[in-house]
Amino acid sequence: MKSLVIALVSAGSLLVSVAAFAQSTPGATPVAPPAAPAQDNAAAAPVPGARRAACQSSAQALKGQDKHDQIQLCMAQARLDCLKQAIDQKVVGPQRKDFVKSCAG
């Protein structure tokens, strides 16, 4: 019985690691060339303030410090998502900072 549980846990962790690796490898999606990041980034950036509004609405049921903490976590996640997007699009230098700032709103 013990070896069956170990085998199931091992197989499960192997499947999870394969799925994570498959997500981390770049697909056939073309990446924007570094020469023209401003045009692609302007089209990819969402409406300013949309993420903040989404974070505030997701924490609407909370009150006080819990609401404040939830909004902070949500905005940090939004900035991280924007940074990942900038990295995927090969945006570098001051353009990356501007991109993340405009994307996260």
Taking only the tens place, the pLDDT of each residue in 46-70 is 566 788 888 989 899 999 999 999 9
User: Does residue 33 register a pLDDT over 50?
Assistant: no
Q: Which domain covers residue 23, as residue numbers?
A: 2-104
Distances (CA, A) of 3 to 12, 14, 15, 17, 38: 14, 16, 18, 21, 56
- Of these ranges, 3-17, 46-60, 81-95, the one predicted with the greatest mean pLDDT is 81-95
16 in helix, strand or coil? helix
**What's the chain's average pLDDT?**
73
d(CA 76, CA 81): 9
Q: How many domains does the chain have?
A: 1
8 A C-beta contact, residue 74 and residue 55: yes
8 A C-beta contact, residue 101 and residue 45: no
User: In 25-63, which ranges are continuous DSSP H helix?
Assistant: 37-44, 50-58
Res 27: pLDDT: 47
